[in-house]
Chains A and B, each alone.
Chain A
Amino acid sequence: MNDDRHLTEEERQAFADDAPPVERRVELEAHLAACADCFDDVARLRSVTMRFRKAPNDPAPVEELWPSIRARIEQEKIVALGSAPVATRQWLRARHLVALGALAAGAMLTVVLLRPSHRIVIDSTVAVSDTTALRLVADSVKSYEDESRILLNRLELQRAMMRPEAAASIDRDLKVIDQAIDELQLAIQNDPRNPALRHLLASSYRQKVELLKRASNAS
Chain B
Amino acid sequence: MIADARPIDEIVRRAQQGDVDAFEMIYRRTAPAIYRLCRRMLGDERDARDRMQDTFVRAWERLTSYRGQSSLDTWLHRVAVNVVLEHLRATKRDASRLIDVDDDSFGSRPSDSPADASMDLDAALARLPNGARTVFVLYVEGYSHDEIAQMTGIAAGTARAQLWRARRALAKVLDHE
Contact = CB atoms under 8 A, between A and B. Distances in A.
Interface of A: 9-10, 13, 16-17, 44-45, 47-49, 51-53, 55, 57-58, 60-62, 65-66, 68-70, 72-74, 76, 90, 94, 210, 213-214, 217
Given A48-B174, A52-B121, A210-B17, A62 B167 contact: no
B49 A61 contact: yes
Given A57-B36, A210-B17, A214-B18, A48 B167 contact: yes
Interface stretch (B54-62, B85-93, B95-103): B54-62
B63 to A, nearest CB: 11
B140 A53 contact: yes
B142 to A, nearest CB: 8
A95 B142 CA distance: 41
Given A57-B35, A58-B122, A60-B32, A72 B171 contact: no
A60 B140 contact: no
B67 interface: no
A66 B167 contact: no
Contacts of B121: 51-52, 55
Contact of A213 (B17, B39, B168): B17
A13 B164 contact: yes
Contact of A62 (B17, B32, B164, B170): B32
B35 A76 contact: no
Interface string B50-81: 00110011001100100000000000000000
A53 B64 CA distance: 31
A17 B139 CA distance: 10
Nearest to A91: B18
Contacts of A45: 167-168, 171
Contacts of A58: 35-36, 39, 122
Interface stretch (B19-27, B110-118, B147-155): B19-27
B28 interface: yes
16 contacts: A10-B164, A13-B163, A13-B168, A16-B167, A44-B175, A52-B137, A57-B32, A58-B36, A60-B36, A65-B53, A66-B24, A73-B23, A74-B20, A76-B57, A210-B17, A214-B18
B31 interface: yes
Interface string B24-52: 10011001111110011000000001001
Nearest to B56: A69
Contacts of A213: 17-19
A68 B60 CA distance: 13
B53 A72 contact: yes
Contacts of A214: 17-18
A13 B163 CA distance: 9
A73 B20 contact: yes
Contact of A69 (B27, B36, B136): B27
Contacts of A94: 18
A148 B82 CA distance: 39
A73 B57 contact: yes
Nearest to A77: B18
B36 A13 contact: no
A16 B165 CA distance: 13
A94 B18 CA distance: 10
A214 B19 CA distance: 8
A65 B168 CA distance: 35
Contacts of A73: 20, 23, 57, 60
A216 to B, nearest CB: 9
